[in-house]
Amino acid sequence: MAEEQWCSIPSEDVFSLFNSHPDGLSREEAEKRLSRDGYNEVESKKEHGPVYRFLRQFASPLIYLLLIAAAITFFLDLYVDTIVILFVVLANAVIGFIQEGKARHALESLSKLLVPEARVLRGGMSIVLSSRELVVGDIVLLEAGDRVPADLRLFYTKNLRADESILTGESVPVEKSTAAIATGCASFGDQKNISFAGTLISQGQGRGIVVATGNGTQIGRISEFIRESKEISTPLLRKMAQMSVVLSVVIVVVAALTFAIGLLRGLETIEIFMASVSLAVAAIPEGLPAVITISMAIGVNRMASRNTIIRTVPAVETLGSATVICTDKTGTLTKNQMTVTQVYAAGKLYEVTGAGYDPEGEFLLNGARVDPIADRALTETLKAGVLCNDASFRGEDNIDGDPTEGALLISGLKAGKFYLPRVDIVPFEPEERYMATLHENGDGSKIIYVKGSPEKILQLCVSQFDGERTGPLDIRGVTQTSEQMASDALRVLGMAYRQVPAEMDRIEPEDIKDLVFVGLQGMMDPPRDGVTEAVRQCKTAGIRVIMITGDHLSTAYAIATKIGIETEGGLSGKDLEVMPDEQLRQRLRSVSVFARTSPEDKLRIVKLLKEMGEVVAVTGDGINDAPALKTADIGISMGITGTEVAKEASNVVLADDNFSSIVAAVEEGRDVYSKIQKILLWTLPTNGGQGLSIVVAVLMGLTLPLVPLQVLWLNTVTAVGLGVPITMEPKERGILRRPPRPPKEPILTALIKRRIVFVSLLIVAGAYFNFFRKLEDGGDLDAARTVALNTIMFFQIFFLFNSKSLYDYVYRDLFSNKFMLLGIAIVLFLQLLITYEPTMNSVFSTAPILPADWLDILLVSSTVFFLIEFEKYLQKRGYLH
């Protein structure tokens, strides 16, 4: 049976179903069940070995072409080029290999959450045994500090609270009880009578019967989701794979046709073979994978400086393509620190400034600052919150104890220090809904301070303190104020006191009566600084923010409204449970707040969003988030509060747990994608021009303007000297004001394709023009090829400036990239070397050229710069699309 059913079954019936007893199973019965059901541990998925995973990185059409190019260059004794190409292939394989295995690591982290030992009743005796040996029907004893070893149906609790943040993401400990829940216990937060494996007991004592072990626990179910989750390819990787296939097919077909046409024209077999080799070498962008990898690596470093740690390199770009961010609330959008924001005393509602566990803040009444000590009713309300409290302030924004009590302590410290010696205590009990402490006043008298739910406190009160004297209790006014504060997503607690005789040294529950009501304190987990602006930036950037949380719907909706998340209402886990996929798809178009959700709910939402064509980023910190993190296009875990399971399942880790850092990372991701498009825009036309010049020569029976070795030289020198500096290009202005590119948009847009064709033809025309001009002027073949070689090189340099922006004019930013200027200087030096150095002349079949040749080269090659800028002008005027 599923855990959702155990919470609705009375504990005595659970004992019957498992044929167990509150004194535990016998040793023989436990051994029998262990043999039948197996050990209480999460199974790991069998993974392929490291050799297989490494070899799998070579399964790419572009890699196949690079390997063929390496073989050809080796066959031609061009060993340096062979080494360069193989280095590129190997570097990409190593990067891909490192990216593998996230699920395996996540499952290992899950296994560590199952504690090594547990205290169990067997045959009425308390024993400690390995948690691996737990079986269904066992009775487990719990106390503060224990990590729960299996999923338990509780049948006894004494002030029991559990920290379930690894499952729910919510920081406030959950009060546990034993009563069966009649309906609606689908989410973790609603299952008050279940203790889940891996959660931590923060207070009290309890006993529970094991209802699920190993893979049957919630942790086990989550591990199953992780095992079933497929490795997700990023949008860029998918588009690069598609482009690689197309590019590979085109190159192979054109090279084969060139060879066939050459044979039909009666050319020598070895000559046409060399021409086909030249074509393949010219067209294959050997440096493209390396330059793209460098671009991503630079993005990784820039993101790290903005508190975003990238675990998988392609995640850099994917963040930039996100159209939806599904975010947790607690700790990501909010500070994960409860803060008192309103105090009600003597009929006045005070606003409290400051956030988190920083004792700096002011008290405002109708917007004006007031001295809290001057109002005795306010002072007594704050004092009650401080004294009836077990939390302690450690300084530097740190609290020991319950977050709710921490918030009350800090609100009191904002007014001053309150201290009275504590004499006795009535601890908080979920059934009673209050806590009381007995204190000694400075004059020797005694006073009881009580805090609890407003309804309970009002039941215990007979009068109300108005700041000067005790008067009638305004039940209606207090109740209305409490309800108004609660509607603002505040957690509200009531405060009261009672003067007692000096000789009283102990208090019992029956002493908590005839109280004097003093006030209310309302607290919330406030939004982080800057998160509202970050949500606004997402909206400007065309990115939708969806909140998926384990908190209550009213709280989630109030926070969403406060920080600017646009939504038409909200949905709870109960709503999702009965809603078919088609209806949920429709609601997902307008609803952006989902509360009291389970891991299955979050995973389902992510899957449906992806089916709707969205590029989905998901944030999370608990193990309940791991399946969705792994299934999303981009998983983002929290570096501070995140569990190891969440981190291992994610692509990105936020070092500061701040949603604002995601927006900064989106900006960097868009910049990376923009640079990759610029790299493609520059690389493919220049390689295409080189390859097309070979095709034209074969088709028209002309002399080859370049030999294979010259083509390899050109590709190698330009890929490093000109291609890499593109990755250092400054970020374009207004990159976050653009909408996300459509998920189905190809990486080679219509504009890029148009420029590839236009620039390729322009390079071919210019190279042949100067090639034949040199021959007509009496130059030998080597000199003419040297002119053609330098013409193509300068075409690439001038087009490099055009490629600084796909859409905008580049006149203002011609010299903004110092690395580009340095790269051009190095390439020019190398070109002079290959043109005039005798040894290089003999190796590369080049020859010195005249100064007049350089003028022709510059005049012809510079045409590309002016024509492309004119094309941008036509595009801005709407003549081109």
Q: Give, in degrees to the nearest 5, the angle at Cα 321 between 315 and 322.
A: 90
Nearest alpha carbon to residue 262 among 833, 697, 607: 697
* Rounded Cα gap, residues 496 and 453, in angstroms: 11
Residue 613 CB-density burial (10 A; 0-12 exposed, 13-18 middle, 19+ buried): exposed
CB 852 within 8 A of CB 793: no
Q: Is 328 annotated in the active site? A: yes
- Compute φ and ψ for 530, nearest 5 degrees: 90, -5
Residue 465, helix vs strand vs coil: strand
Q: Tokens representing 228?
A: 């079933």
Q: Tokens representing 691?
A: 């390859």
CB 384 within 8 A of CB 520: no
Residue 496, helix vs strand vs coil: strand
Of the candidates 190, 328, 633, 657, the residue annotated as catalytic is 328
Q: Tokens representing 855?
A: 């003028």
* Rounded Cα gap, residues 807 and 664, in angstroms: 23
Residue burial 398-409, b: 16+ Cβ < 10 Å; e: rest? ebebbbbbbbbb
Distance of CA 755 to the CA centre of its chain: 35
Residue with tokens 């169990």: 120
CB 327 within 8 A of CB 551: no
Q: Tokens representing 371?
A: 């001295």
* Rounded Cα gap, residues 81 and 69, in angstroms: 9
CB 394 within 8 A of CB 508: no
Per-residue CA distances from 777 to 444, 846, 878 (Å): 116, 17, 44
* Rounded Cα gap, residues 373 and 382, in angstroms: 10
Distance of CA 263 to the CA centre of its chain: 56
Q: Which sequence positions are flagged as catalytic?
A: 328
